[in-house]
Structure formats: C-alpha cells, structure tokens
Structure 1
Amino acid sequence: MAEIREAIADAARAVVLPAGVGTLTCSGHTPDSVIAPHFFAGEYSVEFDKAMNRSLDEAELTCRVLVGRNDDTTAQRILDALLSGSGPASLKAAIQAANGAPGVPALGGLVEALHLTRVQGYRWYEHQGTQYVGAELIIRIFGDGRS
C-alpha cells in the first residue's frame, strides 16, 4: 500500500489552485506536520478475496486535505475548489486521471482501478496542535490480490 499511497499523492499534485494560493503539498502517508494546503493519504482497510483464487482485493483509502485558516471564508473557498467534481483545482479530477485509459491498469500498473467515491467530514481538524479546515476523501482501490 505504501507505493499506492505515494502514487495517489503524486496524482493529487496535479491540481492547480487559484492564483495567490500557492501549491498543494502532498504526501503518501500521515505527516508529522503539514504545510497548508496539504493532501495526504491516511488510513486504509482491505477486503481480501473479493474473487476466487486471490484474483481481486478491494481497499478503501481515507485521504485528507487540510487548508490553513488565515481567513475562514477564504480557507473554505479553497477547500471547496479542491473538493469540487471538476476543474483545475479538483482533487477528484486529478486522482481519477491516474486511472488512465480504459483497460489500462491505474497508477502506472500498481492497481487495476481506483475511484474517488465520496467526500465526508467537512469540518475543522487539529493536526499537531494547529487548526485547519478540511475534509476526508474516500478512494476505493481494486487490484489483483496475488501481486
């Protein structure tokens, strides 16, 4: 899962934030500290043997995006852009682009497919003693359990 989480963080780096906001920092693990706005791949669960002979496992990865709260209105507008279903700042669009063409494995062959299914937990988060506005993004990942 470490390689998969890093590849998802790489895909998230493709977002383009509104002018004056800077760039989205990303990590494939839960970081000790963040430079906001920050996306990271967090905890996950795996369901083994979704098909016979270990031919399919399914994982659910919980990612978070945190935005600094210099100004609560501006922070939430930035977060809303990151959580939108499309557009240059859309995490969904950036991550879904890592699926590649139909019939081609996702994330450069690490998995069969992935799908960002939902956003949840839009709220204030504390990370290492600092408050951020943020949300969780849930990604379903499908792959061959034999590899």
Structure 2
Amino acid sequence: MNISAVRAAIADAVRDAIPSLNCFGYVPDAPAEPCFYAGEVEIEYDAAMGRGLDELQITCRLLVSRGDDRSGQEALDRYLSGSGPDSVKAALEAARGAPGEMALGGLAHDLHLMAVQGYSLYQVGEVQYFGAELLVRVVGPG
C-alpha cells in the first residue's frame, strides 16, 4: 500500500463529506480549527498469504477550538457522533465503497474506524484545542 496516498485519501473522504473541517493527510504544523488529520501509522506486514495483505493502523486526530469550554466540546461531540451530517464515522464508512468495491478509491481492500480515544485537551505549539484520536484500520495489498 502507498501509505501517503492512503493517508491523503482518508483526509479527502472526510473533507468531501464535511466541508467545514480542514483536513490533512499529514500532521500540520499549525492546524486551523476545526481540523482533522491522519497522523501516526503502525504497520503490520504480511497479515495474510505472505505479502498478500498488510494492515495499517492510522491514528487520526480531530481538533476543535477551545475558545469556549462548552461549545468546543459540543462541536467535538458532533463530529464524533456515529451518524449525521458532521459525523466523521459516517464519512469514513462511505469511503469503504459499495460491496465488492475497493475502499478509498481503490487504494485498499477495506477500512474501519475502530475506536475513539484520548478525548482531551491537545497542545500544538502555543495553542490548546479540544480533541480526540480516531483509530482507523486499513487493510490492503502488500
């Protein structure tokens, strides 16, 4: 799998579904909130059939303004909802493609948002954001 292309496709899928989010396939130096980006990658090579399948676990981050405690957390909750127009989960599920199709426009066999963790304050440079980590599993050709 082309890891950079997979990360960019994840960001594109979220951007296409939720235009109000600034989305990046890399870790930005100075994110403009609200922001979604594909961050760290863990790779499990040779998950099946020798070099047949690799699995990636990509830690994505979702950051929103901390300007007001309550409104910032409500915005984060809206993006983390399992459904609705601002749901990152729904955006990623749409990127899986139709049954029998490859995910992420042909880059992978499948992807799955496995969990959300680290709902907390995040500091990037001098700025604090409310945020969370989204663990995305991607399975594709080795």
2:111 partner amino acid: L
Identity of aligned residues (%): 53
Give, in whole Å, the separation in 2 of the partners of 1:100 and 1:26.
20
Give, in whole Å, the separation in 2 of the partners of 1:110 and 1:85.
24
- 1:118 corresponds to: 115
Give, in whole Å, the separation in 2 of the partners of 1:49 and 1:16.
34
- 2:71 corresponds to: 74
Give, in whole Å, the separation in 2 of the partners of 1:27 and 1:91.
14
**Equivalences for 1:41-120 in 2 at 5 Å?**
41-120=38-117
Whether the 8 Å CA contact 2:12–2:23 is kept in 1: the answer is yes
1:10 partner amino acid: D
Give, in whole Å, the separation in 2 of the partners of 1:133 and 1:30.
16
Specify the SS of the correspondent of 1:32. Answer: coil
- 1:27 corresponds to: 24
Specify the SS of the correspondent of 1:54. Answer: coil
Alignment coverage as a number of residue pairs: 140
Task: Name which of 124, 134, 145 aligns with 2:131.
Answer: 134
Give, in whole Å, the separation in 1 of the partners of 2:18 and 2:141.
32
Q: Deviations over 1:122-146 (max 9, x none)?
A: 000001110000000000000010x
Whether the 8 Å CA contact 1:8–1:41 is kept in 2: the answer is yes
TM-score by length of 2: 0.95
Whether the 8 Å CA contact 2:18–2:91 is kept in 1: the answer is no
Task: Name which of 37, 55, 60 aligns with 1:40.
Answer: 37
Give, in whole Å, the separation in 2 of the partners of 1:52 and 1:107.
22
Specify the SS of the correspondent of 1:13. Answer: helix
Q: Deviations over 1:18-37 (max 9, x none)?
A: xxxxx110100000001100
2:4 partner amino acid: A
Q: Deviations over 1:10-62 (max 9, x none)?
A: 11113448xxxxx1101000000011000000001010111123111111000
Runs of 4+ in 1 over 4 A off after TM superposition: none
